Structure formats: C-alpha cells, structure tokens
Structure 1
Amino acid sequence: MTPAKNQFLALFSHITRRTHGVGKVPTPWFTKPIASAPMNGWSGPKLVAAVANHGGVPIYPIGYFTDPAAILKDLQAVIPLLSDNGDTDQTDSNTKGDEGAIKTEFLPYAVGFVTFWLDRQGPDLLLKILEGQGDISTTTATKRVSRPPAAVWFSFGDYRPYLKLVRQHGAAGTRVIVQVQTVQEAIDAQQDGVDVIVLQGTESGGHGAQRVRPLLSFIPEVVDALQERHKSSGLKVPAILAAGGISINSQYRAVQALGASGIVIGTGFMPTFESPGPQHAKERLLKTGDGGDTTVRTRIFDELRDFGWPEGYDGRVVRNLVTDREEEDLKTRGLFEPKGANAFKVLRADRTGTQEDWKKAVKDQDWDIIPLWSGTGVGLLKKQMPAAEYMDQLLGDDGKSH
C-alpha cells in the first residue's frame, strides 16, 4: 500500500528516509497504516523504533509525566535505534521544493499526551518537544538540526488549547491526532481541523470513556456524519483510525471496509519482543483467552493509584483478584465504595486489603493485584514475535491466510 492510496499515510508523505549520495530518490518513512498506541510502561524506545523502521507510525507515550528531562532523554534514545539515523545533507524532499512546501525534517514517530494530565503539568514539555528537544541534534556543514516529531496525539480532555499551541509553535507539517469516543466529538474534531481522528471503541484496552459504543457501529456512523458535513459545509474529512480489540488481519480488513484508513494497536504490541513490559506479564497475556469475558472495564485501579482520573472514564484490564472482589461486592452486597481508603478493601479474604499490599504488589509486579491493561482482542494473540512480524500478519503481508 502506497501513501498516495491511503489517506492516513498521505498525511505523512513529506516525511522521508534520509538519502545518501547524489540522485538518490527519497522514500516515505511511513508505508503501513498501523499506529502503535501510546502505552505507559509498554511503548519504550525499542518498540517505537521497531514500528517506525517497519513503516508504521509509533506513538511514544508521554502519559503521566512528572520529569520532562527524563522524557526528553528517553525520546533521544530512539534516534540511534532508527534504521536511517545518519547525518543528512538536507537535500531530500523535506527541505527543498516549490514555494510553500514543507521544509522541516521530522522524526518518524509521534508523541501522545493524556490531555487532562497536560492541563495539570502545563505546556512546557509539549513546547520543548515541538522545538525538537527530543532529538539528538546533529550538525551539517551549514546549520544545527533539531527535528520535531511527526505528530502529536491528544486523548481524554479538551485538546483545543494545545491544538492552538501546535499550530502556533509547531513546524508546518506537524500533524495532530485526536482520540474520540462519540460521534459528536468526531464532528467537533472535524470542525477544529485536526488531521487524524482515532475512533476508540469499547473493545479497547486501557483507558476510555465509560459510555462508548462498539467499533462496528461507531465507524460507519462517524464516516457518514463527517462526509455529510463535508458536502454541506466543505469541511475536510480527517483521516480515520480505528482502535479497540483489533489483533488480526480479518479485523483490519473489516474496519477498513467500514471506512477507517488505518488502525491503532495497543494490546497486540504488548507481547512483542521489543516491548519493555515484563516477560511474565507478556506470557500472561498470551495465555488469556476469550477476551470479551476475561477482560473487564473498571475504575478501581485509578482509585487505587490515586491518579485523579475525571468522571466518565474507566479502563479495560485482564480480570484479577481485585476486579473479582470488586464485582463480588457489587453483585452480592452492594457495599462497594471505590473512594478514599475504602478503595483498598477490595482484595480476597486471604489478603489484608491495605494500601501496603498495593505498594508491595506494584514493587513485585504482581498481576493478581495490579492492572494488566488489555483489549478484548487479547484472546486472538497466540505467540510472541518481533513487532515487524506482527505488523506483517496484521496487514496480511506474511504469506499466510488469516
């Protein structure tokens, strides 16, 4: 699939691999309509580089940042892992061309922000990243080069103040990706002129809206709504990505048929060799079948972690002792109260149910207590493999039928 034939990839056609030697024709970085989801603890530099090197669009997770210097250092660690990371003579299509053409060289990944957390921390880190401080600056014969990321992703909150900052302080060609959970949010994002809309279905692992529909109905309704506004008002239709429970090629083909330009994959990348997640957690994921039953949506872990998630959001996880006890209390006694100190009274009788238990579980990486975020597609994942091999299987490029 070429960028010219895919709306999502076409948005990034100005981002090319560096060329070496006179007469070399630049080739696009992004050739596969797969974005890796921004997953804290699971999307480190190795996975970001692996996805980018194989033509996908990786999203580095800024998440709950508290140390901007550490984030910038981690972003810089991606650069040596890229398959094309040498100095450039600045003669490719990113840096010259007709008047008005994009002239900035970009890094082949995006960064993902939790918007309500960005509200709390302030925009400084966003501005530093837009300036290219996540790059290991190189020097050519004529100037110092600091490259910004290809795109910025916003989820969970009012992204509009930051969209304005990206437009004001970002380089021309920096794309904006916004994740939405309702048709109206998609319409608003179209009105705001975002480049890419991610439609997150209820099947998605990790955080999402408590009231959100399945992708099967969500995608076509959004497509119809955006197309109608294009016809009536001339508003551009953003590229659409589908997120939620997608693990295999037949699902990719299905959402593509419904109108999505590409897919966002989270759970599917978690067991890959390049993901920084612990091996025993990866093995637990691969042994989890019947994802629609063995995963559950809950707010309990955000209460336990005291991250202050706004009302209206929860997260899908693999069931464990905590979710079982929460469900038991809700069904049999109706006594469950997830606020404050009572949030720690959710463990089985053979545990004390104290905050100390929670801290110990986090230290020990005890997945019977701490959350293993996962989408409903987890039951379709059967073996550990490199990220590139998994991407090929998703797109049906591995020579096997799916």
Structure 2
Amino acid sequence: MSISRNAFLATFSHITRAGITGTNARVPRITKPIVSAPMNGWSGPSLVAAVANHGGFPVYPIGYFTDKNKIINELRSILPLLKDSELQKDEQLGSEGGASFLPYGVGFITFWLDRQGPELLLSLLEGKADDPNRRSSPRPPAAFWFSFGDYKPYLKLIREHGAAGTKVIVQVQTVREALEAQQENVDVIVLQGTEAGGHGAQRVSPLMTLIPEATQALKKKASEAGSKLAMPAILAAGGISTASQLAAVQAMGASGAVVGTGFMPTHESLGPQKAKDLILQAGDGSESTVRTRIFDELRGFDWPRGFNGRVVRNLVTKREEEDLRERGLFEQKGVAAFKLLKEDRTGAKQDWERVVKEQDYDLLPLFAGTGVGMLTKQVSAAEFIDQLLDEGK
C-alpha cells in the first residue's frame, strides 16, 4: 500500500523526517497511518512506546485525571521505552520552526478538562513531560487530541503557548461538527462512527456513510474558501480491525484509522489478561456489544447527554435491556447501584472497589467496538499494525 501522499503522514512530516545529522541513528517516526486510540486503563506507556517504535502514532489517554503530577510522571516514563536512545539526548529530533516534539499525542476528554482547569494542558505545552534533566528546550507531545466537548478555548491556549508545529486532533461524530472543526483550522479530524468502542454519540452514522458525506462536505468548503481554509487530514474510527477495513475507509476518503479495540488484547496494553481473553472470545460484534449509558450512571461520571459507550454485553447490560432492574437505578450512583444489580448473585461482592479488584466483568464495563469479532489471537502491537497494513505475511 502506497502512503507517499498520505495526508495524515504529511501533517506530521516534521516527525517523519526526524533524524540526527552525522549519525546512523534511527528515531521513532510516524510512517504508518495507524493511530492507537487514547483508551483509559489500556493505553499505558508500554503500548504508547510500542506503537511509536513501529511507525504508528500513539495517543496517551489523560482520562478522568485529578492529579497533574501523576500524569506528567507517567508520560516521562514513556521516554526510556522508545527504542532509540537518541531521543533521550539533546539533539533536536522531529523539529519544526526550531521546536522539537515527542512522537506521541495526548488525548483529553474535553468536558473533564473543563472541570479540572487548563493547568495540565499548559504544563504539557511547556514540555513538562520531557526529561527534566535535559539541557535543551523541553519537547512537548506532537499533538493534542480533544473529544466530547467544546475544544475551542484550548485551541487558543495551544496557539498562544504551544510551539510552532504543535498539532491539534479533534474527534467528531457528525458532518456539522467536522465542518466546525475545519473552520477552526484543526490539523486532523477523526470521524467516529457508531461502530466504535468506548464513548461516542448516541446518534451517529456508521462509517460507510459518515466518511464520504463528511469528506465531500469538507472538500467543498475548502474549495469555496480557497487558501483561507485548509482541507484537514481525515482519520476514521470505529470497528476497524483488519487490512481490508483500513483499505475500505481509505478508499472512502480517510487517510488512515484510529484503532482502539484491536490494541486492547495486545501484549503491551495495560488491561488485565482476563479482560484481554474476554475480548478475544467475544465473537460477533453486532451480538456481543451494545451501546449504553448505564455504566456512566453507575460510576457517577456524569457524562453530558447525547453520549454513551459501546461495551461487551454482560449481566448489567442484560438486566438493562430486559428491564429487570429497579426503576430508580439511573438515579443511583456508584456502589449503591451495583448492590441493586447484585442482589440475586451468590457470593456477590460488597462494593465497587471489590468488583474492580476481582475483575468481575459480569459487572464491570469492558468497552469494545463492533470489530471485536475479528480479533481471535493475542499478538504484539507491532504484529497487529502489520496485520492492518497487510505486511509481514
């Protein structure tokens, strides 16, 4: 597959061209149009490094953060895992306009960032995730990803405080939102279809219609505006687990794919082996997964209306679907709601913490997309990327 004219790779060409003058050293480069999604509880330093080391672009999930310093320390732990030790030195790697970047992005749940304030974003823009002992200018992440909320105030911060060349990725679920992101001159738009695992819009088209409709509208708007409005790189997110699916979304107008579920059962992901096994055993994604808000209600995360999450079906979703739960369940929070669901279970755990500790996926949410049925074998992140690109066979 030729990727020489890939719009996504061109967006990150200042990373792709990275090298060290006068040496034969190699550095992690973005050479493959594969983005590992920012999955809370799954995309840790090992997975981020593994994807970067193999030419993909990983996005680290900020998630439901409350401790800025903890996030920064974990991001710093990625650096030694990158296969090229030159990244730990003072050479300018992946530079644009005199700045240099770390070969990954960080992903924010935008409404959660609103609640916590912009201090973490500003710290990352200042390069605080880089090695604090580095003598040269600290390097920020190459990109910032925003989903689920109004990202526009943070664009202003990035453009005022970020280094030239810092990229912005925005995930959207509708054509209208894609056009709004284009108007804001974001660098990459992720079109998330209903097939996607994890959180997304309750009302959203499948990628088969969302990609061509959105790309057509974006191209038309860019053509009408002339040089005043650019055509952003487009990525597709939702149920993509195979090379044929990647080829299909590219044929419809996407430059590449954002993949989450496919990376979950890889050796390097953070998830427990029990959960990885359940992913590999799930089978037909249309039968084994369902979209629901119930876990957000149970955990008290207070997601905005209009969003829900696709999960692997379990006891909780079964009781929701069959309407066997108490009518007031959605008004309950956390432990109390789980106790309601567990009343008919022998040896049920006593609280939410115990459920988490014992990995009881009859009750815990296991977020996954419809492509889960095509995942049957545990592999490394590099092997999975090769499978997506139909390489190494």
Does the pair score TM above 0.5? yes
Note closer, same or farther for the CA distance 1:340–1:125 as it changes in structure 2 (3 Å cut): same
Correspondence for 2:80: 80
2:102 aligned partner: 107
Partner of 1:278: 272
Aligned to 1:254, the other structure's residue is in SS state helix
- Per the alignment, residue 359 of structure 1 pairs with 353
Q: How do 1:165-180 residues align onto structure 2 when only pairs under 5 Å count? A: 165-180=157-172
Q: Distance in 1 between matches of 2:283 and 2:173?
A: 26
**CA distance in structure 2 between the partners assigned to 1:163 and 1:223 by the alignment:** 22
> 1:51-76 deviations in whole A, cap 9, x for unaligned?
00000000000010011111000000
Q: Which amino acid aligns with 2:49?
A: A
CA deviation after TM superposition for structure 1 residue 295, in Å:
0.3
**Letter of the structure 2 residue corresponding to residue 311 of structure 1:** R
Partner of 2:253: 259
- Identify the residue that residue 68 of structure 2 maps to in structure 1: 68
- In the other structure, the counterpart of 2:202 is 210
Amino acid at match of 1:360: R
Larger deviation: 33-42 or 79-88? 79-88
Q: What are the residue-to-residue correspondences of 1:21-60 with 2, within 5 Å? A: 22=22, 29-60=29-60
Gaps of 5+ in 2: none
SS at match of 2:330: coil
Residue identity (%): 62
Relative to structure 1, the CA distance from residue 23 to residue 294 in structure 2 (aligned partners, 3 Å threshold; closer, same or farther) is closer
* Partner SS for 2:41: coil
State the TM-score, normalized to the length of structure 2.
Answer: 0.93
1:353 positional shift: 12
- Tell me the residue number matched to 2:13: 13
1:397/1:358 CA distance change after superposition, 3 Å? same
What is residue 97 of structure 1 aligned with on the other side? none
TM-fit CA distance, 1:334: 9.4
Aligned to 2:244: 250
Residue matched to 2:91: 90
Q: Distance in 1 between matches of 2:265 and 2:102?
A: 25
Rounded to whole Å, the distance in 1 between the matches of 2:131 and 2:287 is: 45
- CA deviations on 1:135-181 (whole Å, 9 max, x unpaired) are 11354xxx433110000000000000001111111110010000001
Deviation, structure 1 residue 24: 5.5
Offset at 1:303?
0.8
Greater Cα offset, 284-293 or 338-347: 338-347
Is the contact between residue 106 and residue 150 of structure 1 (CA under 8 Å) also seen in structure 2? yes
Deviation at 1:5, TM superposition (A): 1.4
Deviation at 1:343, TM superposition (A): 4.1
Cα deviation for residue 118 of structure 1 reads 0.2
User: How much does 1:105 deviate?
Assistant: 1.1
Partner secondary structure for residue 99 of structure 2:
coil
Question: What does the per-residue CA deviation read over 1:181-203, in whole Å, with 9 as the maximum and x for residues that have no partner?
Answer: 11100000000000000000000
Please, which of 362, 383, 386 is the counterpart of residue 377 of structure 2? 383
RMSD of equivalent CA atoms: 2.3
Distance in 1, matches of 2:264 and 2:122, equals 29
Task: Give the CA deviation at 1:18.
Answer: 6.0
How far has the Cα of 1:358 moved from its partner? Answer: 3.1
Q: Quick one: which of 115, 120, 125 aligns to 1:120?
A: 115
Alignment check: 8 A CA contact 1:3 1:10 kept: no
